[in-house]
Amino acid sequence: MLAAIYIQGKGMKIEEIPVPVNSEDEILVKIRATSICGTDLKIAKNGHRKLKDGQKIVLGHEFVGEITSVGRNVQGFKKGQRVGVAPNAGCGRCPACIQGKSNYCPDYTAFGIDRDGAHSEYVVIPSKFIVQGNVIPLPDEVSDIEGCILEPFSCVLNGVRVSKIELGDTVLIFGAGPIGMMHLMLSKISGAAKIIVADINRQRLEKALEAGADKIIDSSSMDECSKSVMKETGGRGANVIITACPVREVQERSVQLLAPFGRVCLFGGLPKGTDGIKFDSNAVHYRNLTVTGSTGGSVDDFIRSMELVRNRKVKLGSIVSDIFKLSEMEKAYAKMNAGPEGKIVLVEEATVKKAVTESRWY
């Protein structure tokens, strides 16, 4: 089968490898759809701290597949079932895991990070993922392309939950890429009265407007952007700010752009080697602000995300800009490298047409 392989310290290549075999405690899944995440590209370029030198893994952690083999010790699953998988499994014993927040487990394991992932035709699901509830049967209302985007969506849902958006809030989102667009979707249904989206890319801003942003702001100049935010909020600032971009200045400025009792969620991490940020801590003190952040999503976040999609509260397909066949992995990664407009999804050849009609970017 064709697979996107990363070798720590050596880089990435796409090559044929044997179809994996599942043990008696594992499930084998045939990939129906899988999307490329910024994290895949980051690993392909810089490797990952969880990998040893020379270690080889298949990339990809966002996927939907069909079960083709169930190990005989596995209960509750059957051949032919369509499943989505929350890709991080915790140790099960640490305080974070006990709270159900395996995404904050210091000893997690994840597809496409420290074990073979989904950018291939088949993936083995180990016992740990099965017993911890990470394998989630998908209802018919959730399509393959929506199912594979449930993973980044669940990370966004985690970020929105920690931001504590209240009815009538003004929310400011920095970044109108796929992650920013998902924040827009969730801010809307969380009861935000006004959603402002800022980005340096005009096309992405237009897309945000189309997707329901109340106001878009060009953030090429942060001075100008800050003035516009203050104007749009009657001089008070936003109640909630989400930084869905890896930009230091955006994080530093965000505190100044918050209204009293405002919350900022530092959602996008900064590039490796950035030695922290400076911000006006007196603003936090005198205006009772909250600076928070989030990373990843739990199994609970994943299931909640699935319920929102299943009940058509959000249209996740609208963030997909490019559909490729699984056999076009090379092309798909090239496109990812070039910087796509929205999300890139690879699907089985037979479902390409269906996937294209479900994605709305076209």
User: Which member of 105, 142, 157, 185 binds Zn ion (CB under 5 A)?
Assistant: 105
Could you list the beta-strand ranges (E) of the chain: 2-7, 11-16, 27-36, 56-58, 62-70, 82-85, 88-89, 109-110, 122-125, 135-137, 170-174, 194-199, 215-218, 238-243, 258-266, 290-293, 320-325, 343-347
Q: Measured from the CB atom, is 179 or 241 closer to Zn ion?
A: 179
Told to check if 344 binds Zn ion by CB under 5 A, we report no
In the shown chain, the binding pattern of residues 107 to 146 toward Zn ion, with x for contact by CB under 5 A and - for none, equals: ----------------------------------------
Instruction: Closer to Zn ion by CB, 22 or 321: give it.
Output: 321
Task: Identify whether the C-beta of residue 215 lies closer than 8 Å to the C-beta of residue 193.
Answer: no
- For the bound state, the minimum distance from the C-beta of residue 357 to Zn ion, rounded and expressed in Å, comes to 24
Least distance between Zn ion and beta carbon 97 (Å) = 3
- Report 146-205 residues binding Zn ion (CB under 5 A): 152
Nearer to Zn ion, 90 or 237 (CB): 90
Minimum CB–partner distance for residue 184 and Zn ion (Å)? 18
Shortest spacing between CB 90 and Zn ion, in angstroms = 4
Q: Which whole-number Å values give the CA distances from 302 to 104, 133, 182, in the listed order?
A: 15, 11, 14
Alpha-carbon torsion (157, 162, 168, 171), positive or negative: negative
- Strands across the sheet with 2-7, in order? 11-16, 2-7, 56-58
Long-range contacts of 346-353 (CB under 8 A, 24+ apart): 346/33, 346/34, 346/35, 346/36, 346/119, 347/32, 347/33, 347/144, 347/145, 347/323, 348/31, 348/32, 348/33, 349/325, 351/32, 351/33, 351/144, 352/323, 352/325
Of 13 and 93, nearer to Zn ion (C-beta) is 93
Residue in 2, 41, 51, 94 binding Zn ion, rule: CB under 5 A: 94
> Of 94 and 230, which has the nearer Cβ to Zn ion?
94
Query: By CB under 5 A, which span of 98-106, 132-140, 199-207, 327-335 interacts with Zn ion?
Result: 98-106
Helix, strand, or coil here: 217?
Answer: strand
Q: Which is nearer to Zn ion, 149 or 229 (CB)?
A: 149
Residues 37-56 close enough to bind Zn ion by CB under 5 A: 37
Residue 352 has phi, psi (to 5 degrees) of -55, -50
* Cβ nearer to Zn ion, comparing 132 with 318: 132
| Shortest Cβ 114–Zn ion spacing (Å) | 14
| Residues 63-92 interacting with Zn ion (rule: CB under 5 A) | 90-91
Q: List residues bridging with 70 in a β-sheet.
A: 27
The residue range among 73-81, 102-110, 199-207, 266-274 that interacts with Zn ion, by the rule CB under 5 A, is 102-110
User: Residues 21-40 vs Zn ion: string with x where CB under 5 A?
Assistant: ----------------x---
How far apart are the C-alpha atoms of 116 and 3, rounded to whole Å? 10
Query: What residues make contact with Zn ion under the rule CB under 5 A?
Result: 37, 90-91, 94, 97, 105, 152
